Structure 1
C-alpha cells in the first residue's frame, strides 16, 4: 500500500490497521511502508530482542534496514491483548517468527508490546518493544491474583 493510501486509510481507521500494515511491510521487506506506520515524532522508540533502546526515526529505520538486508522477515502477531482509549492503544502480542536455518524453516516466538497514538495523520506506532524469544510457543499465565 503506498504511503498516501496508508495515510488516507488510517485517518478514520483503527490501531489494528496500522499493526496489520506494520507486519505486512515487515514480511514484504518494504522499509518505506514500515516507516510510514510510525508517528512523525522525535521520541518514537524501538527495542529489538536483546538490543538497546533506539530513539527517533533515523535510528529505528537503520535498525530495520540492517535486519532487512537479507530479505523480508516472516513475522505474524498472535494472541493480541489490547488496552485501548480514544487516543492510545497498547497491544501485547506474541510474534510468531519464521527463521530459515540450514535444516530448513524453524519457528521462534517473541513477546512484543506495540503502542499506538491517534495523531493528525491517523493511528501511528510510537513504541515497539520486543523481548528475547523462545523456540517453543510461550504459555500465558492466568490473571494475577490481588492480595489485599
Structure 2
C-alpha cells in the first residue's frame, strides 16, 4: 500500500526518517513515481530516474555506518502543486556526537494523486564556518506561492 503524504513536510520527515534507519524501500517510497526524478549528491554526481537514484542510496547505506540528519535554517516555499525546501543539514555518523557538515540541500516536492512526493534533491557541501546566525530572521521563513 502506498503511503499518502498530505503535506510536503510529511514527505520530508519520512525521507529523513528513512535515512536514519538506512531503509532504502522507505526512502524510495518518498520519491515521485515520475521517471524524471533527479538527485544530485554533494559529490556533484547527477542521477536521473529511479534506478540511478536507488543505486546511489543503496551504496551510501552499504558504505557508511548509520547516520542521522539534523535540519536547521529551513526555508520553504509552497504552491498548489510544488513546494521547495532549502535546508542546512548536519550529519551525525553512528554514535559520534560531532556533526559533519553543513550540507546545503534543496528538496523539491510535487503534489499528485498519491499526495506529496520528492521530485528533485540537490545537495552540496556548505561553508564549515556557517553559524546559527547566518540565516538571519528569514532562516525559518515559510512562503506561500499563489
- TM value normalised by structure 1: 0.81
- 1:112, 1:56 → 2: CA distance? 19
User: Partner residue of 1:61?
Assistant: 54
- 2:3 aligned counterpart, secondary structure: helix
**1:73, distance to aligned residue in structure 2 (A):** 2.4
C-alpha RMSD of matched pairs (Å): 2.1
CA contact (8 A) 2:82 2:109 kept: yes
Where does structure 1 lack aligned partners over 5 or more consecutive residues?
144-148
User: Partner residue of 1:7?
Assistant: 3
Counterpart of 2:68 (choices 68, 74, 92) is: 74
CA contact (8 A) 1:26 1:73 kept: yes
User: Partner residue of 2:98?
Assistant: 106
Deviations 1:12-44 (A, max 9, x none): x10000000000000011000000000011110
Matches within 5 A, 1:1-148: 4=1, 7-8=3-4, 10=5, 13-69=6-62, 70-99=64-93, 104-107=96-99, 108-138=101-131, 139-140=134-135
- 2:34, 2:111 → 1: CA distance? 12
Where does structure 2 lack aligned partners over 5 or more consecutive residues?
139-146
- 1:40 aligned counterpart, secondary structure: coil
Deviations 1:66-110 (A, max 9, x none): 010034221122221011101110000011111369xx5421211
Deviations 1:41-78 (A, max 9, x none): 11100001022110001100111000100342211222
Paired residues, number? 134
- 1:19, 1:136 → 2: CA distance? 26
CA contact (8 A) 1:49 1:133 kept: no
